[in-house]
A and B are shown apart, each in its own frame.
Chain A
Amino acid sequence: MAKDHLLRALHGERVVQIPWLPHIGTHAAQLLGVSTQHYLQDADLLARGAVLCADRYHCDGIPLLDDPSMEAMTLGCTAHWSDQGPPSIVSSPLSMLSTEQLSEYLPPLPDETTGRWPAVIAAGALAKPELGQRNVALVGVAAGPCTIAYQLRGMRLFADLFRNPDLASQLFAYAGQISALSARIYAEIIGCDIVAINDTPATMLQPAYFRQYVLPNLQAAWQIIHGAGKTSSLWA
Chain B
Amino acid sequence: MAGSGAHSIAIDECMALSYVGEIAQDYHVGFLGNFHVTTALFEETEEVTADVQRCIDEGTRFPGYVFGLGGPLTQHINPSRLDTAVTTLFHQTRSRQPTSSFTENHSLDEAIVQKKDER
Contacts and interface: CB of A to CB of B under 8 A. Distances in A.
Given A26-B74, A57-B83, A6 B66 contact: yes
B66 A19 contact: yes
Given A9-B30, A31-B108, A58 B86 contact: yes
A23 B8 contact: no
A86 B111 CA distance: 23
Interface stretch (A103-111, A126-134, A226-234): A226-234
B54 to A, nearest CB: 13
A126 B91 CA distance: 32
Contacts of B79: 27, 30-31, 56
Residues of B contacting A: mostly: mixed
Contacts of B63: 9, 12-14
Interface in B33-47: 33
Interface in B1-48: 1, 4-12, 24-25, 27-30, 32-33
Contacts of A6: 66
B98 A233 contact: no
Contacts of A96: none
A11 B30 contact: yes
Contact of B6 (A20, A57, A86, A222): A222
Nearest to B102: A56
B107 to A, nearest CB: 11
A152 to B, nearest CB: 21
A215 B29 CA distance: 16
A58 B90 contact: yes
Nearest to B5: A222
Contacts of B76: 30, 84
A21 interface: yes
A196 B62 CA distance: 21
Nearest to A85: B74
A206 interface: no
Interface of B: 1, 4-12, 24-25, 27-30, 32-33, 56, 59-60, 62-77, 79, 82-83, 86, 89-90, 93-94, 98, 101, 105, 108, 111-112, 115
Interface of A: 6, 9-14, 17-27, 30-31, 33, 55-58, 60, 66, 84-86, 196-197, 200, 203, 215, 218-219, 222, 226, 231-236
Closest 9 CB pairs of A and B: A25-B72, A14-B63, A85-B74, A25-B73, A10-B30, A27-B73, A12-B64, A235-B10, A10-B8
